[in-house]
Amino acid sequence: MKNIAFIGAGIMGRCMIRNLMKAGYELTVYDINPDAVKELAAEGAKPCEEVSACVKGQDIVITMVTSPAVVESLYFGDAGILNHAEAGTYLVDMTTSRPSLAKKIYEAAKEKGLHAMDAPVTGGEYGAKEGVLSILAGGEEADFEACRDVLSAMGTNLTYEGEAGSGQHTKMGNQIILAGTLSGIAQAVAYAKAEGLDGERFIKSVSTGAAASTQLSQQGMHMFDGNYEAGFYIRHFVKDMKIAVQEAQAAGLCLEELESILKKYESLMEDGMEFSGMQAIVKYYAK
């Protein structure tokens, strides 16, 4: 596989595109916002104005967009991927999306002689930039192995999770953990600030013990300092949590803590913070 169509040049996508080009792949890139592609084109990517043209003649098509609705439109639209990718092409959706949609894409692709996988990622902007994402793949294991080298250009922890939709289910579990972890850290930071503790000393003290976590190390001081710059937008995290709640309910589960945290993030969006980082949850707790 040498030729790759990559659809979605946002915060994550553009970093992943750069890593693929560094690995020697030929990239054809489409984004609904043409300006997002201009910088990548200057670095060697081939810009494309239409999805249908972007996917023709490619070995693999990767999508990394904002929501299930966009994914569905990209794959099932008249000018979309399923109608224009050539038989034998590998289709890899790396968007965090609905497991049911991943299964729908897989079945439709199979009927057309295409190989579809759901392969959402974890690791945020840092992981995308450094090429150390964790990639959670669902679909046919043979397809996963066929795409391993391409995926390795973007991530270091590649896991085949099972049948179509399994990658998305795994990502939902990840987001459930992330929601609880960020909420816990925010409450601890609010408490430490209220008691007058030094921020750096507090984070250093607790970041090597039983409460240690990547999020504590990455976001703890941001919370103390009121730095809400986004590595991952609140609006996208809210989308993910909504999917997780819906999937849990469909499985007969009531995840009360997740639902409570979701409401807190939704209140931040109502306050105009949809493009802030996830660490802004501390505003809900801290005075």
Q: pLDDT, tens digit, for every residue of 162-221?
A: 999 999 999 999 999 999 999 999 999 999 999 999 999 999 999 999 999 999 999 999
According to DSSP, the residues that pair with 211 across neighbouring strands are none
Average pLDDT over residues 246-268: 96
CB 20 within 8 Å of CB 13: no
Rg (CA), the chain: 20
Q: pLDDT, tens digit, for every residue of 119-171?
A: 999 998 889 999 999 999 999 999 999 999 999 999 999 999 999 999 999 99
Per-residue model confidence (pLDDT) at position 147: 97
Provide DSSP, 100-141: HHHHHHHHHHHHTT-EEEE--EESHHHHHHHT-EEEEEES-H
Strands 60-63 and 90-93: parallel
**Cα–Cα distance, 77 to 162 (Å, whole number):** 27
Cα–Cα separations (whole angstroms), residue 129 to 14, 20, 88: 9, 11, 30
Tell me the two tokens of residue 246. Answer: 């819906």
Tell me which residues are annotated as active site: 171
Residue 261 has pLDDT above 80, yes or no: yes
Residue 81 has pLDDT above 90, yes or no: yes
CB 151 within 8 Å of CB 132: no
